[in-house]
Amino acid sequence: MALKPSGGRDWLWTIWLALAAPFVLFLLGPPVGLTIAGGNVLGKLLEPESIQAMVLSLWTTAVCTLCAVLFGTPLALLLARGRIPLRGVIEALIDLPVVLPPAVAGIALLLVFGRQGPVGGWLEGHGVSIAFTSTAVVLAQLFVASPLYVRAAIAAFASLPAEVEQNARLDGASPGRAFWRVSLPLVRRPLLAGAGLCWARALGEFGATILFAGAMPGRTQTMPLAIYIGFETDLDAAISLSVVLLALALVVTWAIRAAMRGA
Amino acid sequence: MAQRSGEVIEVYAAASLRDVLADIKKKKEASNRLRVELSFGGSQDLAQRFLLGSRHGTVFISADERQMKRVVDAKIFRPDHVRAIATNTGSVVVSRRARGRIRKLRDLSKPGLLLAIAGKEVPAGRVALEMIHRASATYGRSWERRVLANVVTRETDVRAVLAKVRLGEADAGFVYVTDALSAKGKVIALEVPSQFRASTTYLAASGNGSRSSGYVFVSTLARPNLQAFFRRYGFGPPPSKWP
């Protein structure tokens, strides 16, 4: 039988099964329940506030992921290959948002980028206001989600043997060309997986956003915020948006697994 | 009526009652052998939690009639168990950094201001919209439009509005007079002309029968000794005739 390992010890196997099976059911219950409840209310997605929330979530997370790739890739390269000062501190900084409660991130962002904060106050003096804008939404997402990409990118670059690029250089390729045409294609899949993870985390960002950016339809009320507020005002709309996020989460997990298998 | 000893009363109350109920809890627990557990939120949020299934024997205090009606209509509380316990009036608070630009209610339409308000389902949000609407009879409809255009966040309860103004993130916010009083010195309360003022009535209900400690708790809230607590925090007395 496929379930049994070779050899005896069937009783131990039974105990494992008895503990694991209810756990799987527990994990399975909520998504199945949500899908069933959501089937009847998907029409709610066409309501203006739902559409606004989806559009806002889509473009803010896209900007967030692009920024994470743009600024995170060089950082990951430096950390994976170079000898840079304060490496330990930087690596700890990258790990921090992953374990930091989002509400703490929201308060911290507010104290620095809020109108009374050093950076926010300075920007305000120059006519740039972050408070209550979509920029605040992106900053919250970037702070909480981008480390996921950077971590994945560090691992990807670290797994790449240094000789690969060196050989390309020996064959006459410039450093830039060796990186773009040889190294990057080799780590494309893990980088994409990291970007996917970052995007998914940004899409789900709630705690930091509601504290730091506020909640205004069309401007700062992303899908998770619309779900939270919909819980109080329009439960069906909240359920329909939840189903969309569940579907996206499933797609992302599937895509990441596919990408990593290829790598 | 003596309350049975060692009991726990769970109270789910509107966010604006935070300070006064904390005091009442202390007094109750000191003079009776019972425990009062307080949980605060926007009334619309609490009502939704009761509708989705909540234990019996708990007390619900809503900041307006509409949210209480939702749970009474769903037969979670009996209509004859609902009591009016206090009233509150809308107010506008201004952050210290914006006090130069906002001196009176009329100034709220100035371009570029960041205003915080509670969501339209939140009792404080409804009171705020009513106040704005009443003022527009004098200041004009375009004034109302410009004020609403300055709103940058719709918070889920009135205390979140107050927090945004206290932090200086929002220039001004629509709260209750009790919130303005609680943050005296940290925010500036605007003078609202009496003809613009809008108010709301707090309603309390308990789940179980008339012998339960929750029922007793609710009925004592309207008594003079506890009404003194509400008065101290700026609440008005319950309407003499209700409903």
Q: Do A231 and B45 touch (CB under 8 A)?
A: yes
The total of structural domains in chain A comes to: 1
**B210 falls in which pLDDT band (50, 70, 90)?**
low
Position B111 scores a pLDDT of 94
pTM (2 d.p.): 0.83
H or E stretch at A112: helix A102-113
- Cα dist from A23 to A20, A33, A241, B2, whole Å: 5, 16, 26, 48
Q: Do B156 and A228 touch (CB under 8 A)?
A: yes
Name the residue among B45, B116, B167 with its Cβ closest to that of A116.
B167
pLDDT > 60? residue B80: yes
Structural domain contains residue A39: no
Query: pLDDT digits over A107-150, tens only?
Result: 999 899 988 889 988 988 888 888 889 999 999 999 999 999 99
Structural domain contains residue A4: no
What is the token pair recorded at B161?
């509005």
Neighbours of B232 (CB within 10 A): 12
B7-87+202-232 and B88-196 agree in CATH topology: yes
**C-alpha B60: how far from its chain's center?**
13
Omega within 30 of 0 (cis) for the link into B243: yes
CATH number at residue A151: 1.10.3720.10
Query: pLDDT digits over A73-92, tens only?
Result: 999 999 988 778 888 899 99
Q: Where are the domains of chain B?
A: 7-87+202-232, 88-196
Q: Tell which B residues from 116 to 175 touch A, by Cβ distance under 8 Å.
A: 116, 119, 121, 151-156, 164, 167-170
Q: What is the 3-state secondary structure (H, E, C) of chain B?
A: CCCCCCEEEEEEEEHHHHHHHHHHHHHHHHHCCEEEEEEEECHHHHHHHHHCCCCCCCEEEECCHHHHHHHHHCCCCCHHHCEEEEEEEEEEEEEHHHCCCCCCHHHHHCCCCCEEEECCCCHHHHHHHHHHHHHHHHHCHHHHHHHHHHEEEEECCHHHHHHHHHCCCCCEEEEEHHHHHHCECCEEECCCCHHHCCEEEEEEEECCCCCCHHHHHHHHHCCHHHHHHHHHCCCECCCCCCC
CATH of domain B88-196: 3.40.190.10
Q: Which residues of B touch A219 (CB under 8 A)?
A: 152
Which of A162-176, A182-196, A233-247 has the weakest average pLDDT? A162-176
Q: How far is B45 from chain A (nearest CA, A)?
A: 5
Do residues B150 and B115 touch, judged by C-beta distance below 8 A?
Answer: yes
Query: pLDDT digits over B26-75, tens only?
Result: 998 888 888 899 999 889 889 988 888 766 568 999 999 999 999 999 88
Query: pLDDT digits over B122-180, tens only?
Result: 899 999 999 999 999 999 999 999 999 999 999 988 999 999 999 889 999 999 999 99
Determine the structural domain holding residue A125 and report its residue range.
44-262
What is the token pair recorded at B192?
């609202």
Cα–Cα distance measured from residue B154 to residue B129, given in angstroms and rounded to the nearest whole number: 12
H or E stretch at A241: helix A235-262
Query: Given this structure, which CATH class describes domain B7-87+202-232?
Result: alpha beta
Q: How far is B115 from chain A (nearest CA, A)?
A: 10
What is the token pair recorded at B199?
């108010």
Identify which has the larger pLDDT, B11 or B211: B11
Do residues A109 and A212 touch, judged by C-beta distance below 8 A?
Answer: yes
The one-character DSSP state at A42 is: G
Q: Check if A233 contacts B (Cβ < 8 Å).
A: yes
**A1 falls in which pLDDT band (50, 70, 90)?**
very low
Name the residue among A114, A220, A229 with its Cβ closest to that of B169.
A114
Structural domain contains residue A218: yes
Nearest to B36 by CA among B216, B160, B196: B216
Beta-carbon pairs below 8 A across chains A and B: 58
Position A263 scores a pLDDT of 55
Query: pLDDT digits over A203-245, tens only?
Result: 999 999 998 888 888 889 999 999 998 888 788 999 999 999 9
Structural domain contains residue A2: no
- Cα dist from B25 to A3, B29, B158, B176, whole Å: 58, 6, 21, 22
Name the residue among A114, A216, A232 with its Cβ closest to that of B48.
A232
